[in-house]
Amino acid sequence: MYNMYTLNNGLRVITEKIDHLNSVSVGIMIQNGSRNESEELNGISHFIEHMFFKGTKKRSAKQIVEEIENVGGQINAFTSKEATCYYIKALNTHLDLGLDLLSDMILNSKFDEEEIEKEKGVIIEEVNMSQDSPEDVLDDKHSETVFGTNPLSYPILGTMSKIKSFTREKILNFISEKYTPYNSVISVCGKFDEDELKKLIESCFGSWKSSKKYIPKYNTPIIHCDSGYINKDIEQLHISLGLKGLPYRDKNSYPLVLLNNVLGGGASSILFQKVREELGLCYTIYSYLQPFQGIGTINIYTGLSKNYADKALDVINREVIKFANNGITKKQLEISKEKIKATYILGLESTSSRMFANAKSYLFTNNVFTEDEVIERIDAIDENDIQNVLDECFKPGILNAGYVGQDVNYNELNKIILKDVKAYDNTLNSNKTLI
């Protein structure tokens, strides 16, 4: 049972009560991520996420984590392209502590200059660790290739030079502008007393004020038909291929989830069975969706020997074209509906998963679908919906690519997958881009 309301200061609250549990997950999600940054401040959202754990006016950094861990709870945070979330999971008897901790961090953090300088070293090491991961390097490079200079291309962690340039003044100014009640949501899922919870939230967050009403607005970026390559001394070649996707909560989101699942969503998918099981060209291959506000992409990832890359890409390209043209059978449609319903329902068994999903939906759409509504939407997918998504997302083919590997002739690989894109693309405009 969902309950949604707004405090007098503009802070939205969504709660979902589940009485048979003895735990509760609480999160505050802010509509601010690397997409909200300027090029000069790239990485500051993630930096601020770290700094909220470095001490408040009444708690040290150690006390912040110690207080919740001493009662068996968990506290963490994450930054994405479009949102930052701070969250706690604990026994329901410690809900008051969880809310007090989160509000103390968000409203009373000190941002001590000495701690800022220390944290620069910590995050630079995090960047170094990310640079040692071919998958992370590939993700950043492919995002840059897909979105060009749009902020969606910015790496969430930022760069070393940008991180070193952050000052306390820049941090406080950014928080003052981007962290407001108006672009934030409190999400609670688990066992609680509704009346008591309302009083706790009002007590902890009712004093949060902002000098202006900040509601993020984004320009819709162009999806570029291009490729990017990073030469790295590693054994495998890591490849990311991009297709046109759909924005978050598009009317055809569920048909796209279904089709993605058939193409590359699991061990029984077309790409896994063909490229790995039948041909033995790789260990890992899968496709996944990246829905953002106003735009989305479908990505296909694989890691394999560069000696097999041309053959694998030829097979992947042919399978994508065949999939786009032939679609799926009625039997596949019904089986796939059951699969994604099961995945959705199983995901609901975690209070933290439900809390995140509710927060994101309410943050970006001011609404949330009930479990019954989601199931109804999945059941309602018909052949026309499938065809519309095939035409919009899959028939244009592979639009862009990213490669990370050692001494790879990626221009030759591009000829295998991108030759048809340029012909398709040129019917739209002369800039080799697809809107």
Per-residue pLDDT tens digits for 241-263: 999 999 999 999 999 999 999 99
Mean pLDDT, residues 79-90: 98
Q: How far is CA 30 from each of CA 49, 203, 341, 396, rounded to the nearest angstrom?
A: 11, 19, 29, 35
Q: Is 383 a catalytic residue?
A: no
Report the percentage of the chain scoring pLDDT > 70. 96
List all residues 6 or more positions away from 311 whose beta carbon is below 8 Å from its beta carbon: 279, 281
For 268-317, what is each residue's pLDDT tens digit? 999 999 999 999 999 999 999 999 999 999 999 999 999 999 999 999 99
CA–CA gap between residue 161 and residue 76 (Å, rounded): 26
Q: Tell me, what's the pLDDT at 352?
A: 94
Is residue 420 pLDDT above 70, yes or no? no
What CA–CA distance (Å, rounded) separates 182 from 329? 46
Domains parsed from the chain with CATH numbers = 2-205 (3.30.830.10), 223-434 (3.30.830.10)
pLDDT tens for residues 355-376?
999 999 999 999 999 999 999 9
Give the pLDDT mean for 189-209: 96
Cβ(40)–Cβ(161) under 8 Å? Answer: no
Q: Which of 16, 37, 40, 49 is catalytic?
A: 49
DSSP letter assigned to residue 179: -
The Cα 158–Cα 269 span in angstroms is: 35
Residue 215's pLDDT band (cuts 50, 70, 90): confident
| Axis crossing angle, helix 309-326 with helix 253-264, rounded to the nearest 10 | 140
Please give the full DSSP string across 370-430, using - where no structure is assigned. -HHHHHHHHHT--HHHHHHHIIIIITT---EEEEEESS--HHHHHHHHSHHHHHHHHTT-S
